[in-house]
């Protein structure tokens, strides 16, 4: 089901999830009401209202925690991508001090790596991240730096910098590789259960047009929050995926013959 929302556009996916949330909530509410309405008495109303408010508060807490956690992860991935691009620039600057064919080859591999990510984004990571073209291109860069010969003391220090930078590049790449796996927050499923419980407790309020309208607005907002939680759980997929902006900037720099 998550695949559908990831592949759909922002507006269609959002509308579909909101409609599904409203339908799910109303089905639980109305079916439960008609099952128990003959047994509902005045004494049940007070405790039902109290429990509904408590459950709604817990549901709001779960949603807020889940949203905050996914937001932090989302922007951490974005920062990692920016740091990966910065590490590539550091590698290129240090390689400029090596006037050898091997260094020139590594520079070309760096450019190919940048161009690939700029044009492909994260698509090649979807099927098999550790056999993807991005990973293979990185291995070429890593192997080239490991085997790069340093002939002067300055180049020895620079090679140490290169090894540190390529190690950082490896860490940033692995962050993207692991993030490319589709996932959803377990709190989303807990929220769905909590929403059903809230709807069951809401049966102390008899259904009428205004009650159903207010309830629909309430659960529509929950659906919106759930949608953004699901989308931020997959930062490299879907309509909210992180764009390779830093790599696009490097591509523009390369094409302008500045880098």
d(CA 190, CA 27): 18
Residue 214 lies in a domain: no
pLDDT at 5 over 90: no
The region that residue 40 occupies, defined by phi over 0 for left and psi between -120 and 50 for alpha, beta otherwise, is beta
For 222, the enclosing helix (H) or strand (E) is helix 209-232
pLDDT at 182 over 70: no
Are 240 and 184 within 8 A, CB to CB?
no
Segment among 62-76, 98-112, 126-140, 209-223 with least mean pLDDT: 126-140
Strands (E), 93-203: none
Using N-to-C axis directions, what is the helix angle for 10-36 and 209-232, rounded to 10°? Answer: 130
Residue 75 lies in a domain: yes
pTM for the model stands at 0.83
Segment among 104-113, 120-129, 195-204, 229-238 with least mean pLDDT: 120-129
> In the predicted model, what is the mean pLDDT of the chain?
86
Q: Enter the tokens of residue 253.
A: 């720099």
pLDDT at position 27 is 96
Confidence of residue 259 (pLDDT cuts 50, 70, 90): very low
252, HSE (Cβ side, Cα atoms, 13 Å): 6
Percent of the chain clearing pLDDT 70 (strictly above) = 95
CA 120 → CA 136, 142, 231, distances in Å? Answer: 14, 21, 20
> Which letter, b or e, does each residue of 70-89 get, where b requires 16 or more Cβ atoms within 10 Å of its Cβ?
beeebeebeebbbbbbbbbb
Residue 171 lies in a domain: yes
- Cα 105 from chain centroid (whole Å): 34
Are 259 and 250 within 8 A, CB to CB?
yes
pLDDT at 133 over 90: no
pLDDT digits (tens, 9 = 90+) for 8-21: 888 999 999 999 99
Are 233 and 183 within 8 A, CB to CB?
yes
Residue 67 lies in a domain: yes
Residue 27 lies in a domain: no
Residue 216 lies in a domain: no
What single-letter DSSP state applies at residue 38? G
The predicted model gives 209-224 an average pLDDT of: 94
Residue 33 lies in a domain: no
pLDDT at position 221 is 95
pLDDT digits (tens, 9 = 90+) for 231-254: 888 888 888 888 888 888 888 887
pLDDT at position 170 is 87
Q: Which residue has the higher pLDDT, 158 or 130?
A: 158
Number of domains in the chain: 1
Residue 29 lies in a domain: no
pLDDT at position 1 is 64
pLDDT at position 39 is 83
pLDDT at 172 over 80: yes
pLDDT at 137 over 60: yes
Q: Please give the biggest Cα pair distance in the chain.
A: 91
d(CA 3, CA 9): 12
The predicted model gives 121-129 an average pLDDT of: 72
Range of the domain at 68: 42-204+229-255
């Amino acid at each position: 089901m998550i695949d559908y929302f990831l592949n759909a556009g922002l507006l269609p996916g959002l509308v579909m999830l909101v409609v599904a949330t409203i339908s799910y909530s109303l089905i639980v509410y109305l079916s439960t009401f008609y099952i128990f309405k003959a047994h509902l008495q005045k004494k049940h109303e007070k405790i039902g209202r109290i429990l509904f408010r408590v459950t709604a508060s817990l549901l709001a807490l779960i949603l807020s925690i889940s949203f905050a956690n996914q937001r932090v992860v989302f922007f951490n991935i974005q920062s990692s991508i920016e740091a990966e691009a910065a590490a590539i620039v550091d590698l290129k600057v240090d390689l400029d001090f090596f006037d050898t064919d091997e260094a020139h080859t590594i520079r070309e591999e760096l450019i190919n790596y940048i161009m690939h990510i700029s044009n492909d984004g994260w698509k090649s990571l979807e099927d098999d991240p550790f056999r993807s073209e991005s990973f293979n291109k990185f291995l070429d860069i890593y192997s080239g730096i490991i085997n790069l010969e340093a002939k002067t003391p300055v180049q020895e220090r620079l090679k140490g910098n290169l090894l540190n930078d390529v190690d950082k590049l490896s860490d940033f790449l692995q962050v993207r590789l692991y993030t490319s796996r589709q996932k959803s927050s377990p709190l989303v499923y807990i929220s769905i259960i909590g929403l059903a419980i809230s709807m069951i407790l809401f049966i102390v309020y008899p259904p009428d047009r205004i009650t159903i309208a207010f309830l629909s607005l309430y659960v529509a907002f929950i659906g919106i929050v759930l949608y953004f939680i699901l989308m931020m759980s997959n930062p490299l997929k879907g309509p909210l995926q992180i764009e390779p902006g830093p790599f696009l900037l490097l591509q523009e720099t390369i094409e302008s013959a500045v880098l």
